[in-house]
Structure 1
Amino acid sequence: MRVLLVDDHEIVWNGTRRLMERVAREIDPQQPFEFDAACDVESACRLPRCGFDLVLLDYHLPKLMGVAALHAVKSHFEATPVCIQSAESSPQRVREVIEAGAAGFIPKSYRLDDMEAALRVVLRHRIYLPAEFVLADDVTRSREPDELPREDLARFLRAELSPRQRQVLALAIRGTPVKLIARELSIAEGTVKVHLSMVYRALGARNRTDALCRVFDAHAASALEAA
């Protein structure tokens, strides 16, 4: 397993390396662990495009930062999940980066055990969302009278969505870009967008972030594991 950290505070590099090494060994003790670090996006993008299993990207960086940095890193490491870390974890910031394609958002204020739990989720190729974001007042919304109850959501995903729709949704909520979903499933990008539009409408979700929150809030992610 190979992990890249992009953070301009070099003092955190060794601590992050030790943390990532411990989590990686828990997930797969037989797999060698490699760790790289860069202080900015420009330095990170000089590294090979392939070979990394995860990129941890600090939100606040010199020069290029925030969503612009996320786009640049995702464009360079096209097939690699990019997880944002930030000292500021307002719902608006979390939504901003998730909608931009981040594979998760981990607050830097987390305790060590919470940080490890979040990293385990991301390394298993699932998106990590802070619980406080999923439950935030400005993220949750009032339920429509005819909306599917959350306790029925997992059954709905298994029984009502086609196998292809489940595949597309599973990849989308992992942060996979539309063009990579199309490539992986050997379908046109337009077909991916049609599937996502239909699934979001069926879930009563406006976009990927809303769909992700609905699935997580209902503990229904397991319904997509076989996708």
Structure 2
Amino acid sequence: MKSEKLTIIIADDHPLFRNALRQALTNVFTHTLWYEADSADALQTSLDNPELDPDLILLDLQMPGSNGYSTLIHLRAHYPSIPVVVISAYEDNNTISRAMHYGSSGFIPKSASMDSLSNAISSVLLGDFWLPEGVELQEIINDDINQMACKLKTLTPQQYKVLQMFAEGLLNKQIAYDLAVSEATIKAHATAIFKKLGVRNRTQAVISLKQLEMTKGPL
């Protein structure tokens, strides 16, 4: 663990939870700079800041712009040096096993005690993994969800952002305006996205992305 100040990002769309979590952890991690993100896009903006060097991301799987495991998969593909700990209201073995399979360094149920929360974060900052007591990870079969996860890893950050905006139903013109690029650039991104995901159009791309949304069924 770094001896100097830590930098931790709390990525969750519920402001009351973020505030309560930060206040509670401040008593344990006294030399910490806290940053907050309420969506996948806000988290990406923080990560794009060259002055921000996070030591840890506390990630809720269900945020605006995030389709279940998609943000976790994206983070592990493009920011492998930053450990991610999932904090989720989904506490079943399916969710926990997939989160760990897709690269999370730990999984903390939102119902966990403060002692468990602080122990989990301390363990991960020291380079270990952390799971709730009694959890046994299950094998992830090579199903459609897992295959989509592998394809999602190949998207660049900009392509991933465009795909998220496709999922929000935005038109190419709107996306181009929001990203300050030309429509031709968005069309080029779309072509690359379709090729990497093995689909033919936006609708199929969005359907593929939604495979990563949370479920509680068998693995």
TM-score range, shorter chain: 0.5 to 0.7
1:66 positional shift: 2.1
Q: Deviations over 1:19-69 (max 9, x none)?
A: 3322323xxxxxx32000010111110112651010000011123132111
Secondary structure at the residue paired with 2:29? helix
**Which residue in 2 is equivalent to 1:11?**
16
Superimposed CA distance per residue, residues 102-158 of structure 1 (whole angstroms, 9 cap, x where no aligned partner): 111000011222222222222222111112213x7x67xxxxxxxxxxxxxxxxxxx
Could you tell me which amino acid in structure 2 is paired with residue 9 of structure 1? H
Post-superposition shift, 1:76?
4.5
**In 2, are the aligned partners of 1:71 and 1:100 still within 8 Å (CA)?**
yes
Which residue number corresponds to residue 45 of structure 1?
A: 44
2:202 is matched with which residue? none
Paired residue type of 1:100 = Y
State the match for 1:85 in structure 2. 87
Number of equivalences: 132
Please say if 1:100 is aligned against 2:102: yes
Identity fraction in percent: 25
Alignment of 1:46-65 (within 5 A): 46-47=45-46, 48=49, 51-65=53-67
Q: Report the alpha carbon displacement of residue 88 of structure 1 after superposing the two structures with TM.
A: 1.3
What CA RMSD, in Å, does the superposition of the two structures yield over aligned residues?
2.2
2-structure distance, mates of 1:106, 1:75 = 21
Give the number of the structure with larger relative contact order, counting CA–CA contacts within 8 Å between residues 6 or more apart: 2
Regions of 4+ moved over 6 Å: none
- Once the two structures are TM-superposed, the CA of residue 79 in structure 1 deviates from its matched residue by 1.5
Partner of 1:142: none
Instruction: Specify the code of the residue in structure 2 equivalent to 1:34.
Output: L
Deviation at 1:95, TM superposition (A): 0.8
Unaligned runs of 5+ in 1: 26-31, 140-227
- The normalised TM-score by structure 1 is 0.53
Long gaps (5+) in structure 2? 1-5, 140-219
What amino acid sits opposite 2:39 in the alignment? D
CA distance in 1, matches of 2:102, 2:60: 15
- The structural deviation recorded for 1:9 is 0.1
Q: Deviations over 1:135-191 (max 9, x none)?
A: x7x67xxxxxxxxxxxxxxxxxxxxxxxxxxxxxxxxxxxxxxxxxxxxxxxxxxxx
